[in-house]
Amino acid sequence: VANGATMYAAGLWHRPMIYGHPGETIEQAYVREARATRESAGIVDVSTLGKIAVQGPDAAEFLDRVYTNMFSTLAVGKARYGLMLREDGLAFDDGTTWRLGEQDFLMTTTTANAGKVMQHLEYFLDVIWPELK
């Protein structure tokens, strides 16, 4: 805030939206920051993202079922972006998932949707696919 941050609520967190300069509109700040990132570098604090461990012999198959792309083909030590859909086919959440071991994954969710994603995953595991371990 001392550096000109305009904050916004993201779940239970307050995060900087932009760092405005004196006399600059929010739109001008967005454009300036995007240009600086494309021409040089940018930093973002993603510590507020939801983090969910998915483990077990069927972990990869479970992720294949809840995301639009495949995680069973992901090599250990690698990460992949994924899009999760609702039952009606609309986008529900997205994030990056790392394969830490053959049966061990760490997925991230958007900050505001972390609790809903956890409920979504538990519903599918407990009700729709109880045979998965």
Q: What 3 state SS string does 91-121 have?
A: EEEEEEEEEEECCEEEEEECCCCHHHHHHHH
- Which element (helix H / strand E) includes 8? strand 5-10
Specify the domain boundaries for CATH 3.30.70.1400 within the chain: 50-128
- Say what the pLDDT of residue 111 is: 86
CATH code matching the domain that covers 50-128, chosen among 3.30.70.1400, 3.40.50.11540, 2.70.98.40, 1.20.58.760: 3.30.70.1400
Residues 6+ away with beta carbon under 8 Å from 24: 32
Asked if 99 contacts 78 with a C-beta cutoff of 8 angstroms, the reply is yes
**Structure confidence by residue, pLDDT tens digits, 17-38:** 899 999 999 999 999 999 999 9
Q: pTM to 2 decimals?
A: 0.75
Torsion of CA 55, 57, 60, 65, to 10 degrees: -100
Query: Which is more confident, 31 or 4?
Result: 31
The reported pLDDT for the residue numbered 11 is 73
